[in-house]
Structure 1
Amino acid sequence: MSALTFSMNVTLDGCVDHREGIADDETHAYFTRLMDESGAMLWGRTTYEMMESSWPQIARGEVDAPLALREWALKLEAKPKYVVSTTRSDFPWTNSHHLAGELSATVRGLKERTPEGVLVGSGRLAAELDRLDLIDEYKFLVHPMIAGHGPRLHEGGLPATRRLALVSAEPLSNGAVAMHYRRAA
């Protein structure tokens, strides 16, 4: 079974608000590389709708955007996107698919069908998947700031402390640090 990797921008105080963090070419290159290395994206409905509201238009050239953002949008357009939702079942964005049914079984099935791995980019969904013991790796881009507000990582808590092993830590020139952890044995 392939790896399910949770990746997210996070501030030093655990804030995962998409409006916080450094959005520059280096940050976009980091997330583009993560997407390129995975076989599919996995999101909750809220993240899907936020992404759907702008990236398809950028990919089609309907919105002016720097080249790095346009390249990201084009790659995102082509990437299979799976969405977990109990309130919506129609996901018209190119290569988008609804994951319905019991969460643990459907995500395990997705991992089995996606040998290149699955990248989770939704905080609340990742926390639920972590509670179900389904997250294998964590790739956080830790930004050098304290937001002082939420939402925060794992706000709902976990049943037990999750022990992780450091795989790598790579500082970026913008001050952020790319942290890669794997579940400890």
Structure 2
Amino acid sequence: MGLLTFSLNVTLDGCVDHREGIADDETRALFTRLMDASGAMLWGRVTYEMMESHWPAVARGDGQAPPAVRDWAVKLEARPKYVVSSTRSDFPWANSHHIGGDLREGVRKLKDATPAGVLLGSGTLATALDRLDLIDEYQLLVHPRIAGHGPTLHQGGLPGTRRLELLSAQPLRNGAVVMHYRRAR
């Protein structure tokens, strides 16, 4: 069974709005390494639609994008992408698959079928999966910013405190820190 790793950009005040993170070569390299090390991506519908509205065009070479950005888009295009949704079942972006029905069962099956692990990149979905005790590791990129607005990490709350064990902390040149934790069981 592969690990389910939740990875997201977050500001010091817990904001997970994707526009608040620092998008530079160093952060792209980090997320490329995470994606390369995983067997599949897992998103909620909203995150999928945000990604689908931008990255396929970059992968095709539509418009101007630096080579490193286009390379990332091409890798993302090839990566298996799983989408949890109760309102949509058609996901035409290359290598996209729907997870419907029972969330716990669907994600357990995905973990079982993906020994290299699954990279989760949706904040709202992470809260639902954390409530089901399905997240094994957390790799959060903490940005040196205070956004002063939401959405925030686990905004809907959890039934109890999650104890974590620090695996590593790595500062980046841009001032962000990669925090890698494992769920303490």
Give TM-score scaled by structure 2 length.
Answer: 0.99
C-alpha displacement at 1:63, in angstroms?
2.0
Mapping for residues 128-139 of structure 1, pairs under 5 Å: 128-139=128-139
Residue 48 of structure 1 aligns with which residue? 48
Question: What residue is the counterpart of 1:158 in the other structure?
Answer: 158
In structure 1, the residue matched to 2:94 is: 94
CA shift digits 1:97-137 (9 cap, x unpaired) = 00111000000000000000000000000110000000000
User: Which residues in structure 2 correspond to 1:99-110 (within 5 Å)?
Assistant: 99-110=99-110
Match of 1:33 in 2: 33
Q: Deviations over 1:32-64 (max 9, x none)?
A: 000000000000000000000010000000121
Deviating 4+ runs (over 3 angstroms): none
CA distance, structure 1, for counterparts of residue 61 and residue 38 of structure 2: 25
Aligned mates of 1:134, 1:184 — CA distance in 2? 12
| 1:172 correspondence with 2:162 | no
Q: State the partner residue of 1:7.
A: 7
SS, match of residue 36 in structure 2: helix
Measure the CA separation in 2 of the matches of 1:114 and 1:127: 21
Query: Aligned letter for 1:148?
Result: G
- What residue is the counterpart of 2:82 in the other structure? 82
Q: Take 1:162 and 1:117, find their aligned partners in 2: how far apart are those partners?
A: 21
Distance in 2, matches of 1:16 and 1:111, equals: 25
| CA drift at 1:2 | 1.1
Which residue does the alignment assign to 1:63?
Answer: 63
Separation (CA, whole Å) in 2 of partners of 1:58 and 1:147? 28
Partners in 2 of 1:63 and 1:98 — Cα distance? 29
Report the Cα distance in structure 1 between the residues aligned to 2:106 and 2:176, rounded to whole angstroms: 34
Task: Name stretches of at least 5 consecutive residues in structure 1 with no aligned partner.
Answer: none
Amino acid at match of 1:109: K
Identity over aligned pairs, percent: 75
The alignment partner of 1:19 has SS state of helix
Partner-residue secondary structure (3-state), 2:70: helix
Q: Which runs of 5+ in 2 are unaligned?
A: none
Instruction: Please tell me the root mean square deviation across aligned C-alpha atoms, in Å.
Output: 0.5
- Give the number of equivalent residue pairs: 185
Q: Residue 123 of structure 2 aligns to which amino acid in structure 1? A: G
Corresponding letter in the other structure for 2:18: H
- Is 1:148 the counterpart of 2:151? The answer is no
Counterpart-to-counterpart distance in 2, 1:123 and 1:105: 20
TM-score by length of 1: 0.99
